[in-house]
Amino acid sequence: MTELLTSAQMGGIERDEIESGAVTGLQLMERAGRGAVEAAFAKWPKLAQGAHRAMVLCGPGNNGDGFVIARRLADRGWDVDVFLFGDTAKLPPDAKTNHDLWAAMGQVAPFEPKAVKSCARPDLFVDAVFGTGLTRPLPADLASVLEVRTMGTWKRGHAIHRLAIDCPSGLNLDTGMIPTSGDGTMPGVNSTHLTVSFHSLKAGHKLGLGPTLCGDLQVVDIGLTGRDATERAMIGTAPDAERARLIAPDFAGTALPLRIWPGAMIVKMRGQGHKYEYGHVMVLAGGSGRGGAARMAARTALRSGAGLVTVLCPPDAVLENACHLDAVMLRACADADAFRDIADDRVSAFCLGPGMGVGPQTRAMVEAALSHDRGPRADRPAAVVLDADALTSYQEDPAALFNLCHARTVLTPHEGEFARLFPDLAQSERGDLSKIDVVRQAADRAGCIVLLKGEDTVIAAPGGGASVHSATGDRAVPWLATAGAGDVLAGLIAGLAAPETAPDLFCVVEAAVWLHCEAARQFGPGLIAEDLPDMLPEVFLTLER
């Protein structure tokens, strides 16, 4: 798991380290610039051989790494054109020092679109204008030059290697969004081939547009302390309040063996017990003709390691369900009173919502599940996963749901369901808040874990611990946007949470999201939701490594 920092947290880490006397700002800037050049050479080995031409765009803030890069490249015999967007006299001291070091070797031209375009075609285009300090939309003239279309100015412009320092300028590194001006217009979109960032990933690298715009993303260690300790503390426990992390089997950017994470989250891969110790999951289904979603959730719960899984359905749907279920058990359950009788103290997880239908009947079942205070373990009630119709049934009165939710409840909305429960936090209302910020607020309000789906899935717990799963780049699974995939995720969470020795619920939810994506990746295009549970055994085998 890699920590995802906000711009403010990154600034704080740099400031603390500099104030402690362990390092100077100049040293950090030098390491950053050198690290960026090394990362570019590692990606494009041809650039490491011989001298080439670079264009470096620098900015008004402390992202002074651009001047360091110019100097390093010129030292290797490169021709380097440097432009400064901003006023030399107002540069912060460290950036000014590096500006002056470069100015003793070459020219710094004031930024001007025509001047940029009249230079010879660079082999390497370096965007070091803004890093973590972007506070408003890019000015139009700058945006017009940073746009990828500008490369068409030059013959063979497609061959230009584009490198961004910290991020493609214009991207907000807290939100992964591009700030728009008051009238809603968006500046030109800047994207790059390689982004080099420092110390740790920033939230905006993995949220929203970040993954698409940043291209290949490399994190360079610039010797700030604390990273390893932070990451070690993150393995197997929920993140602390205020911290967010990327869900991946990584430790400080290095891959961990999969049997350590997420393998350790799957109790059945290591436990020794009888079926009840692996837990009993109850999945509530809707009426006749609408049982498919619940059956997929149930099958997934059984595949993911629960000892027993029972589908509860209205009496009129028993025949239909009986025709489709074998290892999954089936009980008729007419209403919430019947449900209370059937749900004994061996039930360790409930899954409600998929295909249940929206209305008072579903609300009554949700209330019964959330007030079920018996469980196989005295120290924790059964986990309750609420998805789809279980959430939408509360759109008129979300507070009624939140009043019932307890710490072992997980809400798994997509953006539409999220907007019904948290209208003020809906996508259109977010402003400067990041998806992490709003899911944190939602978790606080609901008093339970909230998982908001998307290519950037965000999970948050009350108090602030949060994590992000990014299904982008080599983990992109566009074919997972298929009917029923969400029902499978709900069943997966319930199945992994069910065993008596299941780990911390937050960690279970993280593992479920990762496994869900992994099953889709291993299956490939053409996937339908039914394929996901049956893909899990193959995924589990890969976790033995």
Ligand X SMILES: NC(=O)C1=CN([C@@H]2O[C@H](COP(=O)(O)OP(=O)(O)OC[C@H]3O[C@@H](n4cnc5c(N)ncnc54)[C@H](OP(=O)(O)O)[C@@H]3O)[C@@H](O)[C@H]2O)[C@@H](O)CC1
Q: Is the Cβ–Cβ distance between 485 and 457 less than 8 Å?
A: no
* In the complex, minimum distance from the CB of residue 217 to ligand X, in angstroms, rounded to a whole number: 14
Amino acid at 37: V
Interacting partner of 28 out of ligand X, K ion, none (Cβ under 5 to 8 A depending on kind): ligand X
Q: Using CB under 6 A, which of the segments 37-45, 130-138, 208-216, 481-489 binds ligand X?
A: 130-138
* Binding-site partner at residue 30 among K ion, ligand X, none, CB < 5 to 8 Å by type: none
Closest approach, Cβ 167 to K ion, in A, equals: 5
Q: Which does 25 bind (CB under 5 to 8 A by kind): ligand X, K ion, none?
A: ligand X
Q: Which residues from 318-337 bind ligand X, rule CB under 6 A? A: none
Residue 456 marked in a binding site? yes
CB of 197 to ligand X, least distance (A): 7
| Residue 357 is labelled as binding a ligand | no
Tell me: does residue 28 bind ligand X (CB under 6 A).
Answer: yes
Beta strand spans in 413-512 (E): 449-452, 456-460, 466-470
Residue 127 marked ligand-binding: yes
132 binds, among ligand X, K ion, none (CB under 5 to 8 A by kind): ligand X
Amino acid code (one letter) for 10: M
Q: What track of x and - describes contact with ligand X for positions 74 through 103 (by CB under 6 A)?
A: --------------------x---------
Give the residue with the Cβ less far from ligand X, 35 or 484. 35
172 in a labelled binding site: no
Burial class (CB in 10 A: 0-12, 13-18, 19+), 329: middle
- 340 secondary structure, DSSP code: H
At closest approach, how far in Å is the CB of 252 from K ion? 23
The correct pick among 35, 131, 211, 355 for binding ligand X (CB under 6 A) is 131
Using CA of residue 213, residue 219, residue 224, residue 226, what is the dihedral sign? positive
Residue from the set 106, 133, 188, 447 that interacts with ligand X by CB under 6 A: 133
**127 makes contact with ligand X (CB under 6 A):** no
CB of 278 to ligand X, least distance (A): 48
Annotated ligand binding at 526? The verdict is: no
Cα Rg for the chain, rounded, in angstroms? 26
Alpha helices in 59-125 (DSSP H): 65-75, 93-103, 113-117
Binding mask 169-198 for ligand X (x = CB under 6 A): -----------------------------x
Terminal CA-to-CA distance of the chain, rounded, Å? 18
* 182 annotated as belonging to a binding site for a ligand: no
Nearest to 510 by CA among 324, 237, 253, 294: 237
Was 486 annotated as part of a binding site? yes
Cβ neighbours around 528 below 10 Å, total: 13
> Contact, 78 vs 72, CB < 8 A?
no
Q: Encoding tokens for residue 17?
A: 């380290």
Q: Binds 127, which of K ion, ligand X, none (CB < 5 to 8 A, cut-off by type)?
A: K ion
Which residue, judged by CB position, is nearest to ligand X in the bound state? 131
Tell me if 320 sits within 8 A of 356, measured CB to CB: no
Q: Please report whether residue 17 would count as binding ligand X according to CB under 6 A.
A: no
**Residue 136 known to bind ligand:** yes
| 230 touches, from K ion, ligand X, none (C-beta below 5 to 8 Å by class) | none
Q: Which of ligand X, K ion, none does 62 bind, CB closer than 5 to 8 A by kind? A: ligand X
Q: Does 32 bind ligand X (CB under 6 A)?
A: yes
Q: List Cβ neighbours of 241 (8 Å cut-off, separation of 6 or more).
A: 463, 464, 465
CA-nearest of 437, 416, 441 to 426 is 416
88 is in an annotated binding site: no
Which parts of this chain interact with K ion (CB under 5 A)? 127, 164-165, 169
Between CA 356 and CA 336 the distance in angstroms is: 13
CB 438 within 8 A of CB 413: no
Residues 45-64 vs ligand X: string with x where CB under 6 A?
--------------xxxxxx
Q: Is residue 204 near ligand X by the rule CB under 6 A?
A: no
**Positions of E strands within 138-297:** 161-165, 194-198, 201-202, 216-220, 244-246, 250-251, 254-255, 280-284
The string of DSSP letters for 133-147 reads T--SPPPHHHHHHHS
- Which listed range, 23-31, 413-421, 496-504, 505-513, lies at the site for ligand X (CB under 6 A)? 23-31
Contact 87, 57 (CB under 8 A): no
Are residues 335 and 343 in contact, defined by beta-carbon separation less than 8 angstroms? no
Count of residues interacting with ligand X (CB under 6 A): 25
Which residue in 1, 4, 13, 14 binds ligand X (CB under 6 A)?
14
| Binding flag, residue 168, ligand X (CB under 6 A) | no
In the Cβ-directed half-sphere of 414, how many Cα atoms lie within 13 Å? 16
Q: How far is CA 329 from CA 282, 311, 374, 489, in A?
A: 9, 6, 21, 20
Q: Which residues bind ligand X (CB under 6 A)?
A: 14, 25, 28-29, 32, 59-65, 94, 130-139, 166, 198
Which amino acids are annotated as binding site for K(+), given as ranges? 63, 127, 169
Give the annotated binding-site residues for (6S)-NADPHX: 131-137, 166, 293, 355, 414, 487
Binding residues, by number, are 63, 127, 131-137, 166, 169, 293, 355, 414, 453-457, 486-487
